Structure 1
Amino acid sequence: MKTSIVVSGANGRMGQAVVEMISEVDDFKLVGAVDVTEVGKDIHQLLGLDEDPVKITENLAETLEEVKPDVVVEFTNPQVVMEHIQTTLEYNIDIVIGTTGITEADLTKIEEWNQDKSKIVIAPNFAIGAILMMNFAQKAAKFMDDVEIIELHHDNKIDAPSGTAIKTAELIGKNLDKPDKEVEEIEKLEGARGGLQDKINIHSVRLPGLVAHQEVIFGGEGQTLSLKHDSINRKSFMPGVELAIKKLVDIDGVVYGLENLIDL
């Protein structure tokens, strides 16, 4: 029996990639597409896919009530993601969330809403290469405790720093034994040294032509170590989204981070 899926944010760039991925996986079936653009149009026809028609709707609750999917895949934006999560959980439907900007406070709220009724995967990044980069960076922090992160994304990304950069800093911070700096820095321009997470400076770049890129740079006496990952296009995230959907059956409650679903 196929897993029936509703994609929220279906006509965005990530949502479109998810719809295309679903059409390529034999065990998946798209039953609903929610977005605020191209409402009433067939998402498959818009993407040139030879699949049964699925018209774009703009109300998530009404769509869930009508099609009763197994899973919602959420790729919208930070302004509406929490509302959509709450709506999905009210219907006791499992959900895979790729929208960034979810905070620790948001995670606590999601767990309170859910009470382990639905299965939830939240991932700041679904690219397997990015997961490996974060894992390698966490290991490197045991040996080199001076590190900074540079993340680069397309100019339409509204949150900064990226969820991947924050997650990377959190993972590194678990192995970091870094004393406070003795050097008193002078920022001639406010924010020139980036933001701080777990005592790690994070620098955000937003430019057209980029997709999703991150470099973690460690410094030591007479040496540096750079770990870099580049997503050239959004297809790089789709194996991770597929994995998350298939792994829902094996988890309980909320899982934060794709690394928790693969054997590292």
Structure 2
Amino acid sequence: MSQKISVAVAGATGRMGREVVKMVLEDPELALAAAVARSAEPADAGSLVGKPNTGVILSADLEEALARTKPDVLVDFTSPKAAMPNSELSIRLGVRPVVGTTGFTPEQIVELDKQCKEKGIGGLIAPNFSIGAILMMKFAATAAKYMPHVEIIEYHGDQKLDAPSGTSIKTAEWIAETRRELRQGNPDEEEVIEGARGGYYNGFRIHSVRLPGVFAQQEVVFGGHGQTLKIRHDSYERAGYMPGVNTAIKKVMAATGMVYGFEHFLD
């Protein structure tokens, strides 16, 4: 049997972090090397997910944990503010970052790609690890060739820090690749309340809804003469992202440079 891939998890006590810890512990091809959270108390990582003790004690210091355990991969579901320095630290120590946190600028992605290539390792920044979400984006990009009038509405819980979501931005980028810039709506329209028309991207709008009780949904709405087309994806629980995270951990081992978008790891 081939050697297990050792995995560290940043943000391990968060809701996504706990799902990652559980997934790693349940896969015989993976080994949990470290579990890190800023407010961590010295507890066994297994206790986070109702598993037996693993021998991996929660740590509050990411650099110390990575230097001590030397994992192959760091999975990061922390915050937009922490993701960039965490990724740079990971790369500097030769650990491949797999990042589900959104909020990176194009310039930051280019910089991380350069750092990965200098180290000869791969990394991944994925706005969404859901297979269904990737298909939604792919279908939307195809539809935009034929129905260029489009708007995106994305829904998340009220505690999400960034708006619009990384998934909606990635969707907009895909649409822009197949659709020339087209300013939609009445050229004389006026926002009576600032922001009412949503964020502007390449001629169309992105609307961010933030409400308690919402998990993650996105709708891409196309309008044409006498018709509309709606492409929608709904996520109901965090476990739905784990098959994608699992695939990313395994495929990043063979990558070089920082990859932007989980779709590049799909066959």
Query: Is 2:44–2:53's contact at 8 Å kept on the other side of the alignment?
Result: no
Structure 1 residues 53 and 207, CA, compared in 2 at 3 Å: closer, same or farther?
A: farther
* Alignment match of 1:224 (pick from 228, 233, 240): 228
- Which 5+ residue runs of structure 2 have no aligned equivalent? none
Structure 2: how far apart are the matches of 1:177 and 1:99?
A: 29
1:77 aligns with 2:79: yes
1:152 aligns with 2:183: no
Matches within 5 A, 1:55-66: 55-66=57-68
**Residues 113-122 or 131-140, more deviating:** 113-122
User: Once the two structures are superposed, what CA deviation does each residue of 1:15-52 show, in whole Å capped at 9, x if it has no partner?
Assistant: 11111111111101111011012321222113211241
Deviation (angstroms), 1:88: 0.5
> For 2:212, what is the secondary structure of its paired residue?
coil
Aligned to 1:17: 19
| TM-score, scaled relative to structure 1 | 0.96
Aligned to 2:264: 260
Query: Is 1:116–1:254's contact at 8 Å kept on the other side of the alignment?
Result: no
- Which 5+ residue runs of structure 1 have no aligned equivalent? none
Structure 2 counterpart of 1:53, one-letter code: G
Aligned to 2:237: 233
Structure 1 residues 248 and 179, CA, compared in 2 at 3 Å: closer, same or farther?
A: closer
**Residues 249-258 or 127-136, more deviating:** 249-258
Structure 2 counterpart of 1:207, one-letter code: L
Structure 1: how far apart are the matches of 2:97 and 2:181?
A: 37
**Residues 125-134 or 179-188, more deviating:** 179-188
1:163 aligns with 2:162: no
**Residues 214-223 or 246-255, more deviating:** 246-255
User: Once the two structures are superposed, what CA deviation does each residue of 1:56-83 show, in whole Å capped at 9, x if it has no partner?
Assistant: 1111110011111111101100111111
Aligned to 1:114: 116
Structure 2 counterpart of 1:43, one-letter code: A
Query: Is 1:141–1:176's contact at 8 Å kept on the other side of the alignment?
Result: yes
Deviation (angstroms), 1:115: 2.8
Structure 1 residues 226 and 116, CA, compared in 2 at 3 Å: closer, same or farther?
A: farther
Structure 2 counterpart of 1:176, one-letter code: R
> For 2:178, what is the secondary structure of its paired residue?
coil
Deviation (angstroms), 1:116: 4.4
| TM-score, scaled relative to structure 2 | 0.95
Aligned to 2:196: 192
> For 1:244, what is the secondary structure of its paired residue?
helix
Percent same amino acid among aligned pairs? 46
* Alignment match of 2:209 (pick from 181, 195, 205): 205
> For 1:115, what is the secondary structure of its paired residue?
helix
Deviation (angstroms), 1:108: 1.6
* Alignment match of 2:141 (pick from 130, 138, 141): 138
Structure 1: how far apart are the matches of 2:208 and 2:35?
A: 31
Structure 1: how far apart are the matches of 2:182 and 2:202?
A: 12
User: Once the two structures are superposed, what CA deviation does each residue of 1:209-235 show, in whole Å capped at 9, x if it has no partner?
Assistant: 111110000000000000000110001
Structure 1: how far apart are the matches of 2:51 and 2:214?
A: 26
Structure 1 residues 116 and 260, CA, compared in 2 at 3 Å: closer, same or farther?
A: farther
Structure 1: how far apart are the matches of 2:153 and 2:183?
A: 21
Structure 1: how far apart are the matches of 2:61 and 2:82?
A: 12
> For 1:4, what is the secondary structure of its paired residue?
strand
**Residues 12-21 or 37-46, more deviating:** 37-46
Deviation (angstroms), 1:112: 2.9
**Residues 174-183 or 164-173, more deviating:** 174-183
* Alignment match of 2:46 (pick from 35, 44, 47): 44
Aligned to 2:95: 93
